[in-house]
Amino acid sequence: MNKLNAYTHTGAGGPVRAKTAEDAAKILARRAYGKRAMVGAFRVDSTSRDGSRATYEAFIGRGATEAERRRGERGVWGSNIWIYD
């Protein structure tokens, strides 16, 4: 049986239920940016002394469309969010 954890976050909406914090970041990216959403970076920001809690930082956003690439635009547009275990 797979256990889902509830992760609170600084993004829009309520807590996210996912297996891992990285999965939660993917769900939040999809909520905010739709089907072209992506997690550009993901890292552990801090942990509690006993290791029972952690805070994660993720950059979520969307990549350039084909039309935007033809105009010379590159990169990922998005924002940072923090996810709390």
Residue 61 and residue 38 in contact, taking contact as beta carbons nearer than 8 Å: yes
Cα–Cα distances in Å, from 8 out to 55, 57, 75, 78? 10, 12, 28, 19
Q: Quick check: helix, strand or coil at residue 25?
A: helix
Rounded to the nearest 5°, which phi and psi values hold at 11? -80, -175
Domain hosting residue 17, numbered range: 5-84
**Better-predicted residue by pLDDT, 55 or 66:** 55
Predicted TM-score of the model (pTM): 0.85
Residue 5 and residue 85 in contact, taking contact as beta carbons nearer than 8 Å: yes
| pLDDT at site 20 | 93
Looking at the 3D structure of the chain, how many domains does it have?
Answer: 1
| pLDDT at site 69 | 86
The pLDDT tens digits for 39-61 are 999 999 999 999 889 999 999 99
The residue type found at 38 is M
| pLDDT at site 1 | 52
